[in-house]
Amino acid sequence: MDRSRTPAPARRTSRRRRAGTLTSLAAAVTAAFTAAPPAHADTPPPAAVSCPADLAGRAACYTGTDANGAAYAIAVPEHWNGSLVVHAHGGPDLGAGSDPQRSVDDLARWSVMVDEGYAWAGSSYRRGGYGTRMAAEDTENVRRVFVANFGEPGRTYVHGQSWGGNVAAKVAEVYGTRGGPYDGALLTSGVLGGGSRGYDYRVDLRVVYQYYCRNLPRPTEPQYPLWQGLRADSTLTTAGLRARLQECTGNASPPQERTALQQRNLDDILAVTGVPERTLESHLRFAVFTFRDVVHERLGGRNPFSDRGVRYSGSHDDKALNAGVERFTADPTAVRDLSYDSDLTGKVAIPVLTLHAIDDPTAFVEHESAYRATLTGAGRDSRLVQTLTHESEHSELSDAEYANSIAALDGWVRTGRKPTPRTVAASCPAFDRTYATGCFYDPGFHPASYASRVHPRPGGLHWPAMTAEQEKRWSRIDGIGIAP
């Protein structure tokens, strides 16, 4: 999940808007808002609201709820360049319904896009819980809400962060056909390995943690297979999980205050799984609570995960670990449904630019290798440019880099000239003169393969994880995938 944010670089309290050929369209926006019909006859139009503090006085902001119950937020800058960024948020959040605050929070987080002259539309999705195609549909729906109320933009770009990168990549494949409504995609800090493989390292964390800690569940509690994440009726809270993690590893305590056993448990868990210490708790939360949602709420209790054939190493006693860790094999129908929902075919028809921190502690940079292999396997890698930075954040990268990325993608779309990692890096300092948050690109860096970071399961070395042909066949079967 990417709701737990890490500190961002300092931002200037007052930003200078970039000069250019931006025309003030405030009057036109007001007229369009008044005259245009809503996207659905039974759905109220967006309501004018106060903008987040960073955009106060510089944009008009609106919120509403679409026909499927998904809350959304829209912003139109005073000096609008005529183009739209449609945003797919990360997570997934696990609330039962749509969270209206989520879309507003993300508008505030990426207000840099509005500062750069782009209108913004982001959905909170119709419900919490896992569902990549659902989230992609809700993202497309908020684009339609924007068009119905503000008119057709000159160009439309889909942006996704974290799990939202997976969602936005799915939007690009499903709705970004040639001649369709999307002109390009910007995927930042993306979980681009897809659902059937993208969480295998959290499967490993779940079983390795339990081998050492024996407290999730405790021997005195009802037992359940670990692929469930957590039993369906458990009342465990995030605070309770944090307490159990602390009990076993002392991770929240200074090293000198941990017992010898806590330190050894922590060392073994981190060494075997490759999970960074600072995000150990967030990864474990996903492997517990989000896995429970995936298994019990989305897949009817079926198991989409496997650790058969995985040889764990790096602990103080690998032989004992491999003999004692819980093993299980996935239900093929569950794998199929999770794959259809969230795996990527690589069949893209629009330019795709990615931005990823090399030391991302949540969505490892090797997700970029999986995505490149996916597009290469589909014969579409010519539509991909990947940029990597020497940052160690996941939830928020440099504002200068976000501004630079959307400008590079827009230039590619407008001119047809494909950028390179070096040209993207070279253009960043001009934006940093405005935002002063730094440019940290490394154009020469190439991430290792996904299998070098995440233990591959049998058959898991070939990409794409779901081919376009498989997707087409599965789409003809009633009930395939995850229900909205």
Q: Could you tell me the two tokens for 413?
A: 């779309």
* Per-residue pLDDT band at 81 (split at 50, 70, 90): very high
How much of the chain exceeds pLDDT 90, in percent?
89
Round the CA-based radius of gyration of the chain to a whole number and report it. Answer: 22
Selected residue with higher pLDDT from 43 and 321: 321
Cβ atoms of residues 34 and 150 within 8 Å? no
Count the neighbouring beta carbons within 10 Å of the beta carbon of residue 326. Answer: 13
**pLDDT of 32 higher than 70:** no
Amino acid at 13: T
E strand map for 16-167: 23-24, 47-49, 59-65, 71-77, 79-80, 83-88, 119-123, 155-161
pLDDT tens digits for range 345-395: 999 999 999 999 999 999 999 999 999 999 999 999 999 999 999 999 998
Which residues are registered as beta bridge partners of 155? 83
Encode pLDDT of 100-124 as tens digits: 999 999 999 999 999 999 999 999 9
**Model pLDDT, residue 244:** 98
Estimate to the nearest angstrom the gap between the alpha carbon of 37 and the chain centroid.
Answer: 32
CA distance 259 to 407: 51
Interatomic CA distance for residues 478 and 480, integer angstroms = 6
Question: Which two structure tokens, joined as six digits, stand for 153?
Answer: 């933009």
- The label of the residue with tokens 């609201």 reads 49
3-state percent helix, strand, coil for the chain, nearest multiple of 5: 45, 10, 45
pLDDT above 70: residue 40: no
CA dist list (Å): 189 to 22, 49, 360, 385: 29, 30, 8, 14
Check pLDDT > 50 for residue 71: yes
The pLDDT tens digits of the residues spanning 389-445 come to 999 999 889 999 999 999 999 999 999 999 999 999 999 999 999 999 999 999 999
pLDDT of 225 over the 90 cut: yes
Per-residue confidence band for 42, with pLDDT thresholds at 50, 70 and 90: low
Of the candidates 463, 475, 471, the one whose C-alpha atom is nearest the C-alpha of residue 372 is 463
Residue 395: what pLDDT?
Answer: 84
Contact 351, 307 (CB under 8 A): no
pLDDT digits (tens, 9 = 90+) for 114-150: 999 999 999 999 999 999 999 999 999 999 999 999 9
More confident residue, 37 or 196: 196
Structure tokens at 303: 């198991």
pLDDT value of position 44: 87
The residue type of 412 is W
Q: What is the average pLDDT score of the chain?
A: 91
Could you tell me which of 287, 285, 218, 278 has the C-alpha nearest to residue 248? 218
Q: How large is the average pLDDT for residues 20-46?
A: 45
Residues in contact with 19: Cβ distance below 8 Å, sequence separation at least 6, in sequence order: none
